[in-house]
Structure 1
């Protein structure tokens, strides 16, 4: 019920590398001329990241000890390094190391509908430039959602320090930013932030139910950056179609649309209008299904209710 309420409130206010990575669709595949179905093995690659994304909702004292119940148990060998956020003014987050994929994992909490401050973040849909201190060299044409950008800034330097520490501790240059909903929006900004500030790193973004984060120049900038971007959208979820294109917001390339549990489709280009992709399948809020926002994503449900705190 909390997740359904979160999606409904959103409507009101918004209107490995290794074996795992080898199986993921490549950026070039996402820009192909036709929609392509993922194989069962390609779908299976996402499950560890799906659990990492929903774990972002859990309390910092459980993610730093990796004792959050089934979400943590799904990736039992994960090595937590840092966690933070208060779940109110700052979204919860954690950073650690996956020894199987040899990646640093960074995850952020999605919207908790019981926290009014988080609802205000979603509702702050004005545009702003990226912080030039955090994102040096980015054109002023690139504009992002004010609420999402402000949320990302609050923990950016602390998270970057934790990522650097984890890279050094475990001798890896691979970094994956993940999350669900608002957490995915913050993590996409993180991925760009890491790409700029960690030039030695191999960065990847895997997000779930992510709303649009910026304008057309933002979407083009993310595409041109060249690091792999994958945003997974479930069925008739309305959140990935918000804020609307007519307000100036655009997704970068890299959509995977779950048509049904047995059919995951790679949708080429930005905001693909085909009815098999999110924008075409959910042309307005009246056909959106609030419960689809939580998933399931190959059996993984996202949200606060999945944490054993």
Structure 2
């Protein structure tokens, strides 16, 4: 857990001495990972990062003129400058202080009725077995027809898909983190960047004003020095990078998801929406699902991504492109992520490592929320008046909820 502990410390900006971690034992744990993960996330990269983590002194990092650059150099083992330094032409603030807005009732109802219920059901053994019998999580949407499911909870995150004739929606739900499996930990811990997969990049590339020349001020992040080749190309999407572990987890099953969604679209030409949801690691996968599916689902059918407990997925370029996708009416794309009070997971991986949330955060500002608890819609990226205001009191205990009174990923809620 050395990687996550250090990153948690970075989130809360606490100065400390280098962590006394046994690199040899960490390397042994990584070496025992299954071969299919090793193919998509080479073990030497992760061993290199774990080794360099031992060199990190937070006091030195945070006192540097450019902490992000200092951390990037330490983690990459390179003295090369941040690649963005040669193309930055104007400031691009990574956070904002805009006033939060009251959460609209329709979005609240979506979260309560669909987001928490479908994403919670993705954790249930009965749903994994192909049965829509999981107590209140399934009863909330009784007309839903479960048509397919997959994954093994280890090398492939579990998922299910189906059709709701009442709402005219195709549903895709992703299971979240299960740290009883080593591979899940590695998916989360491998925070080095990787170029955005071509299927998702294709969606971004067709957006208006998506050339790199139109937005030279958007940082690519210091950890891009770890990439095997420099970022080049005319499109802004060519400079979008994402968390390697998250993308590796997504790539294991996306082709199955795409096939099922296309089959459901053919079977239900009256489909109004493809609704994609997930929690924790499942939330990051759901975001990539939604972006890639937008390229194969007709724009007459809305794609909506609604997730809970989502860590940061990509760099500022990725965040800007996701914002543009939402803001382009012709794309018919909706996205929001719900953060529960002081949940630590949405703060991984920290801004200082070159990752950034996109806009459309919904924040529940109090612990132990219920159906009537006020929540806010947070304008802009990384709003300091929302989840970022909790960086000194982050906790893992609020990761499962409650989200307006409902927990996600709690086995007891799966009982029929």
1:150 is aligned to 2:216? no
Distance 2:403 2:110 in 1: 12
Instruction: Point out where structure 2 has 5 or more consecutive residues left out of the alignment.
Output: 9-95, 206-236, 327-332
Aligned partner of 1:28 in structure 2 is none
What TM-score results when the alignment is normalised by the length of structure 1? 0.84
Q: 1:183 aligns with which of 270, 276, 282?
A: 282
Alignment CA distance shift 1:112-1:153 (3 Å): same
Distance 1:41 1:194 in 2: 24
> Retained in 2: the 8 A contact 1:135–1:196?
no
Distance 2:6 2:278 in 1: 21
Distance 1:9 1:77 in 2: 45
1:257 is aligned to 2:363? yes
Higher share in strand: 1
Q: CA deviation at 1:308?
A: 3.6
> Retained in 1: the 8 A contact 2:276–2:290?
yes
Alignment CA distance shift 1:273-1:173 (3 Å): same
Instruction: Point out where structure 1 has 5 or more consecutive residues left out of the alignment.
Output: 1-7, 16-30
> Retained in 2: the 8 A contact 1:69–1:308?
yes
Aligned partner of 1:114 in structure 2 is 180
Distance 2:7 2:129 in 1: 30
**Larger RCO (CA within 8 A; separation ≥ 6):** 1
> Retained in 2: the 8 A contact 1:234–1:257?
yes
Q: CA deviation at 1:73?
A: 1.9
Distance 1:168 1:140 in 2: 32
Distance 2:143 2:249 in 1: 29
Q: Give CA-to-partner distance per residue, 1:171-194, whole Å, 9 cap, x none.
A: 214111101110011000101011
Alignment CA distance shift 1:13-1:197 (3 Å): farther
Distance 1:294 1:10 in 2: 21
Q: 1:36 aligns with which of 101, 121, 132?
A: 101
Alignment CA distance shift 1:63-1:102 (3 Å): farther
Alignment CA distance shift 1:142-1:237 (3 Å): same
1:84 is aligned to 2:150? yes
Aligned partner of 1:22 in structure 2 is none
> Retained in 1: the 8 A contact 2:200–2:291?
no
- Give the aligned CA root-mean-square deviation in angstroms: 2.3
Distance 2:129 2:266 in 1: 20
Alignment CA distance shift 1:78-1:176 (3 Å): same
Aligned partner of 1:289 in structure 2 is 395
Distance 1:43 1:303 in 2: 20
> Retained in 2: the 8 A contact 1:81–1:96?
yes
What TM-score results when the alignment is normalised by the length of structure 2? 0.64
> Retained in 2: the 8 A contact 1:63–1:80?
no
Distance 2:159 2:3 in 1: 21
Distance 2:405 2:199 in 1: 40
Aligned partner of 2:405 in structure 1 is 299
1:271 is aligned to 2:382? yes
Q: CA deviation at 1:35?
A: 1.1
Distance 2:334 2:97 in 1: 15
> Retained in 1: the 8 A contact 2:190–2:243?
yes
Q: Give CA-to-partner distance per residue, 1:240-265, whole Å, 9 cap, x none.
A: 11100010001111000001321111
Q: Between Structure 1 and Structure 2, how many residues are aligned?
A: 282
